[in-house]
């Protein structure tokens, strides 16, 4: 199966975000829901099972100056086996303009036994743009070993490399569950925040969670491992002190509600 989806957001003269383009194909169906403060929230709705080996899926996101968009999924994605000797692919490409805000907060990707899946994320953030980018991978369903899964994330800030991160798990990746990689954990994830308004924070380690300031810009990367999806989500949300994210009409109004 091949499917593409595209989301383009612009700010109008009143500072409210409008979606000038919103289209998709099963299983990448895009649905807009009401959001507070003039921003826009879009859910990616899976119109079919998968991704199945052999699927080729692509999502393009463009957030124009002053626009604020939050993208979520309604449920976890389960990468499943399909045609022999084929791979399922998911490509996400995003562009975030100056004074724009993008929250990419999907549910987890589950690498089911026998799958062969590759996810690639390519993100370009202009100087002054704000990005929250979360990735979470669950290694197999309950009681099973994972199939083959690769997660690649490339983020550029102001046309300069900011983050290059890759992870491979499964039977074709020797040592993936060893102490140098996941240390036996079944769930792993990361949260990248690019925000020029946030104060710089030093590197830190808290149990299985690390915080790393990135050298190429006003950005911080949290990476964690956990025994299950619920614990992992708690780590990543707690690391940033998030109880909610206000999606407002412009980057200058972007705020984070902290707990504790």
Model confidence over 195-222: pLDDT tens digits?
999 888 889 998 999 999 998 789 999 9
Question: What total number of domains does the chain contain?
Answer: 1
* Alpha-carbon dihedral 132, 137, 142, 144, rounded to 10 degrees: 180
Percentage of the chain modeled with pLDDT above 90: 74
For residue 230, give its domain range: 2-255
pLDDT of residue 252: 36
Only one residue has tokens 């990689």, namely 181
The structure tokens listed for 244 are 């909610």
Beta strands in 86-127 (DSSP E): 88-96, 101-104, 109-111, 116-125
pLDDT band at 15 (very low <50, low <70, confident <90, very high): confident
In a domain, 175, yes or no: yes
pLDDT tens track for 66-75: 999 999 999 9
Q: Please, what's the b/e burial string for 11-29 (b: 16 or more CB within 10 A of its CB; e: otherwise)? A: beeebbbeeeeeebeebbb
pLDDT of residue 145: 92
pLDDT tens track for 124-150: 999 999 999 999 999 999 989 999 999
In a domain, 132, yes or no: yes
pLDDT tens track for 147-197: 999 999 999 999 999 999 999 999 989 999 999 899 999 999 999 999 999
In a domain, 260, yes or no: no
In sequence order, the 6+-apart residues with CB closer than 8 A to the CB of 116 are 53, 81, 86, 87, 88, 147, 148
In a domain, 180, yes or no: yes
In a domain, 32, yes or no: yes
More confident residue, 191 or 251: 191
The structure tokens listed for 63 are 């957030």
pLDDT of residue 14: 87
pLDDT band at 241 (very low <50, low <70, confident <90, very high): low
Phi, psi of 207 (to 5 degrees): 65, -120
Q: 189 with 232: CB under 8 angstroms?
A: yes
More confident residue, 250 or 88: 88
Residue 2 CB neighbour total at 10 angstroms = 10
Instruction: Report the chain's terminal Cα–Cα distance, integer Å.
Output: 46
Mean pLDDT value across residues 24-37: 87
* pLDDT of 248 strictly over 70: no
* pLDDT of 34 strictly over 80: no
Percentage of the chain modeled with pLDDT above 70: 91
In a domain, 201, yes or no: yes
Pairing between strand 187-194 and 17-23?
unpaired
pLDDT band at 93 (very low <50, low <70, confident <90, very high): very high
Mean pLDDT value across residues 81-101: 93
pLDDT of residue 160: 95
In a domain, 96, yes or no: yes
What is the average pLDDT score of the chain? 88
In a domain, 78, yes or no: yes
DSSP structure class, residue 207: T
């Amino acid at each position: 199966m091949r499917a593409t989806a595209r989301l383009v957001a612009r700010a109008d003269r009143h500072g409210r975000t409008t979606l000038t383009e919103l289209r998709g194909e099963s299983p990448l169906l895009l649905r807009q829901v009401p959001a507070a403060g003039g921003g826009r929230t879009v859910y990616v709705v899976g119109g079919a099972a998968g991704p199945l080996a052999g699927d080729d899926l692509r999502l393009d996101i463009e957030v124009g100056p002053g626009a604020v968009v939050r993208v979520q999924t309604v449920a976890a994605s389960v990468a499943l086996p399909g045609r022999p000797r084929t791979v399922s692919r998911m490509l996400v490409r995003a562009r975030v303009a100056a004074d724009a805000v993008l929250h990419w907060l999907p549910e987890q990707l589950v690498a089911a036994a026998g799958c062969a899946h590759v996810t690639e994320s390519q993100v370009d953030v202009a100087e002054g743009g704000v990005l929250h980018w979360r990735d979470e991978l669950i290694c197999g369903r309950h009681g099973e070993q994972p199939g083959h899964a690769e997660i690649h994330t490339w983020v550029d800030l102001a046309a300069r490399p900011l983050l290059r991160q890759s992870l491979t798990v499964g039977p074709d990746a020797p040592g993936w569950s060893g102490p140098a990689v996941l240390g036996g954990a079944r769930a792993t994830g990361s949260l990248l925040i690019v925000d020029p308004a946030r104060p710089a924070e030093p590197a830190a380690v808290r149990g299985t969670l690390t915080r790393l300031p990135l050298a190429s810009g006003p950005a911080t990367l949290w990476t964690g491992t956990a025994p299950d999806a619920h614990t992992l989500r708690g780590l990543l949300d707690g690391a940033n002190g998030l109880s909610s994210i206000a999606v407002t009409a412009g980057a200058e109004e972007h705020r984070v509600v902290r707990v504790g």
